[in-house]
Structure 1
Amino acid sequence: MSDRLVHTETDVQGLSTAILLPSMDLFGSPIRSAVPPLTQVVGIGLFQRTVLTLQRAGIRQLIVLSGSDEDQLKVALTKGPRVTIPVRWMPLREFPVDDPRTWEALGAEVRGFCLLSGVGGVFSRPLIEQLRQDVQEGEAIVVAHRSGASPDGKANMNVLLSNQEEELADVVVLPCELLDAASLVSIDAGMVPVRRWLQEASRNGRVRILTTDANAGRWYQEIRNPADLQTAERKLFLSLKSEFEGFIDRYFNRKLSRWFTRIFLMLGLSPNSITMVATIIGLLAAAEFASGSYGAGLLGAALFQLSAVIDCCDGEVARLTFTESPFGAWLDMAMDNVVHLAIFGGIAWGLYLSMAGATHDWVPLALGATAILGNVLSFVSVNRAQGIKASSGWRTARHAAWAEFMLKNVASRDFSVAVFLFALFGVLELFLWIAAAGSLAFAMSMLWIIRPSARSEPAQRG
């Protein structure tokens, strides 16, 4: 069969089903983790986090071989983010894992490939996405912490399972024909048959190793003790990144925001609530700027920087707890613009008060109005660009690339540091000149970039 036919078949019958074993180790050994499946990791239990990560990675059907804690696991899935994929519960007392008929029944539920996983670890969505991309007809995939494979990615599972089992993650992808062949395998009582299947497949050269050490975004952290929990939490926080992130965001705001995010998670605040907290702090900053004194301007700049830090937290909490929503993303962007409008207006009014009676005391007000106009136009154009991107409506790749460049390198929170520096040196009027010119230039550039795509969109729909 040609590669093209193989890929076509795996697209249709690919990896869309996962089987979870929350009460036992995947390889038939005694459970390595002493941490229960409902243990909280950054606000969500291990079992719930596993299910939601699989759902976000494209798994469309879930089968749970549950033990005595089935009722608790079911309750856990009803709390927090909504699980939208179908979940089938198969109690171990009725479907023991050492009974070939259990796996024959499971094989009948699977087309193409299935993912088998315990819930004693935390893993990234890109890891599962990579597994879904890597499936090849008739081949099993094993996730390992470090490379123990030959250069072609093949591995001797007898060696791995006997000498390096600690290097294996609790995640395996199997072609459905291995499940169908379960009745042909002699299985010891109480043993999960994955070990036997992999040994047999390895002898036929049908096992591939996917390691997690070569890609920082494709990670797996086994949870065996409280220290592992802390490591998993650290990896989750390090994996946070917004789509549009500037230098200051990456190397300053994110460093501070993680501490606030932990506090917000402990308090149980929703992402939208955190957005409003950042907004209130930003409006307080604008009020300080409006008083017109040097000290108040410096305090306003510090509050504005704090608002920018807190503004990172809503997205972090949303991603950590799987509570992202289109409305939340829109509210975040809208409130950012409300704060920016207030900051421009506050600085302009404060400068006007400090220059009252002078010949050109109207200039700050004119600059503030221009900055506000530019910010409003920028908000409209960014909204439009994101809509075009979501609908794949860019007329050419060049327009898409320009829009991506503008959004990632210009539309960021980095200018909060610039505001602080201008306030520190007492030259906020210079900042207002730059803000007025810059916001108009950005808005005009974005409007020019999206204009051809906006005009061509009706024709594409037709």
Structure 2
Amino acid sequence: MMTTREAPTPGPRVAVILAAGQGTRLYPTTNRPKPLTRVLGLTLAERVMCTLREASGVRRFIVTVGSEARVVKAHFTDIARRRGYSVAFVEAPDWQLGNGASALAAREHTGDGAFFLVMSDHLFDPAIAEALLRDPPGPGEMCLAVDRDKSAIFDLEDVTRVRADGGRITAIDKGLEPWDAGDTGVMLCTSGLFDGLERAAEKGGHGLSDGLRELAGDARARIVDVTQRPWLDVDTPEALREAERRLMRDAGGKSTDGPVSRYLNRPLSRWLTRYLVETPATPNQISVFSWMLSCIAAALFAVGGYPALAAGGALAQLASIVDGCDGEVARLKCIQNEFGGWFDAILDRYADAFLLFGLTWHALA
């Protein structure tokens, strides 16, 4: 079953994505630029863009590039073409100095309004962006989404740590002690961010944290608590595997699942979905295939005899398993829509009718 979220909350229509780094810590797993790393059917870059679009309606993306810029540009351009987004690129000449230098390169391209700033390798729940929209920064400020649940942070040693007082950042650094929350890498900013980055650069600091510390000194860096909302910095092979595990967990399973669905169908459909998301198969094609299996099962029921009845039962069970894959694939590929949900529901009802007819014919024959 394919579902859709409610309409996104109105907010900024532009987002800056930092995609200039090399991502060498993922090289044991992939030799592609980090934004092009695939996670269950989509690249990290496409997942980030789809999440922001789902949460806030953002369609215009400014992507800062550096390492392997030509390849990265081509990929983001392809995403924009397929998804109907607008994308512009900014060459970050000093990208090797740090992510703050990459962000500063976008200064002349964000306009006067607020904008999202995210990393190309951070996966996050759309609710994190929605929380930022509900508590936006004031003039000259920036807001950072933070997670206070230290036990839920995947890589506790690598997380950027934040100390806050009264909702404002007082200190931020990877080795900070003591600390209150982890930096999720999702921000809602105004042009004031660039003031902090520029001041930090003048002092030799070229990381985003350096710029945020400058703003914190002026009480212009705020936090928004998004504890219990999932997020993940996909920076290592271990984090990549964790991303796959979380995505599969979130893609399948519904509160209405009965015991058979929960303990038999759903584990098998998830196993099958892992392969289907890497193929061109669409959710609607999967729905049709499941319906066809049900039709064949109904025909076997009507044939008569216990061998045909057993074969029909096995096919009907397989059809039920495959029927769970269409929604899972749609959610994993971020292509769920109202028509898909309606189409799947209609085919399910026809499949149920054909199976009932086949069983009735078998019983009366």
Asked whether the 8 Å contact 1:20–1:62 carries over to 2, the reply is yes
Sort the Cα spacing of 1:309 and 1:79 in 2 relative to 1 into closer, same or farther, 3 A. Answer: farther
CA distance in 2, matches of 1:19, 1:153: 24
Asked whether the 8 Å contact 1:104–1:180 carries over to 2, the reply is no
- 1:141 counterpart (128, 143, 146): 143
Name the residue aligned to 2:170: 156
CA distance in 1, matches of 2:46, 2:102: 27
Provide Cα deviations, 1:242-281, integer angstroms capped at 9, x if missing partner. Answer: 7884334455432221101012124442222211221122
CA distance in 2, matches of 1:61, 1:79: 14
Equivalent pairs, count: 332
Name the residue aligned to 2:21: 24
Sort the Cα spacing of 1:110 and 1:278 in 2 relative to 1 into closer, same or farther, 3 A. Answer: farther
Q: How does 1:37-436 map onto structure 2 within 5 Å?
A: 37-58=35-56, 59-79=58-78, 82-93=82-93, 98=101, 102=105, 104-107=107-110, 109-111=111-113, 113-138=114-139, 139-147=141-149, 153-158=167-172, 162-163=176-177, 167-179=182-194, 183=198, 186-188=201-203, 191-192=206-207, 194-210=208-224, 214-215=227-228, 218-241=229-252, 245-248=256-259, 249-250=261-262, 252-294=264-306, 296-353=308-365
In the TM superposition, what is the alpha-carbon distance from 1:230 to its structure 2 partner?
1.0
SS in 2 for 1:224: coil
Name the residue aligned to 1:370: none
Sort the Cα spacing of 1:98 and 1:155 in 2 relative to 1 into closer, same or farther, 3 A. Answer: closer
The structure in which a higher percent of residues are strand is 2
Sort the Cα spacing of 1:281 and 1:234 in 2 relative to 1 into closer, same or farther, 3 A. Answer: same
Sort the Cα spacing of 1:177 and 1:93 in 2 relative to 1 into closer, same or farther, 3 A. Answer: closer
For the pair shown, which has the larger CA radius of gyration, 1 or 2?
1
In the TM superposition, what is the alpha-carbon distance from 1:38 to its structure 2 partner?
0.9
Counterpart code for 1:49? R
Q: Relative to structure 2, which stretch is displaced further, 312-321 or 167-176?
A: 167-176
CA distance in 1, matches of 2:72, 2:349: 42
TM-score by length of 1: 0.62
Q: Which runs of 5+ in 2 are unaligned?
A: 1-8, 150-161
Task: Give the fraction of aligned pairs with identical amino acids, expressed as a percent.
Answer: 27
Q: Relative to structure 2, which stretch is displaced further, 329-338 or 137-146?
A: 137-146
- 1:15 counterpart (12, 15, 20): 12
In the TM superposition, what is the alpha-carbon distance from 1:94 to its structure 2 partner?
9.2
Q: Which runs of 5+ in 1 are unaligned?
A: 1-10, 354-462
CA distance in 2, matches of 1:75, 1:99: 19
In the TM superposition, what is the alpha-carbon distance from 1:41 to its structure 2 partner?
0.7
SS in 2 for 1:322: coil
Name the residue aligned to 1:356: none
In the TM superposition, what is the alpha-carbon distance from 1:335 to its structure 2 partner?
1.6
CA distance in 1, matches of 2:181, 2:94: 30
CA distance in 1, matches of 2:199, 2:67: 29
In the TM superposition, what is the alpha-carbon distance from 1:241 to its structure 2 partner?
4.9
Q: Relative to structure 2, which stretch is displaced further, 156-165 or 33-42?
A: 156-165
Counterpart code for 1:87? V
Sort the Cα spacing of 1:269 and 1:188 in 2 relative to 1 into closer, same or farther, 3 A. Answer: farther
Asked whether the 8 Å contact 2:64–2:103 carries over to 1, the reply is no
The structure in which a higher percent of residues are helix is 1
CA distance in 2, matches of 1:301, 1:15: 52
Counterpart code for 1:291? V
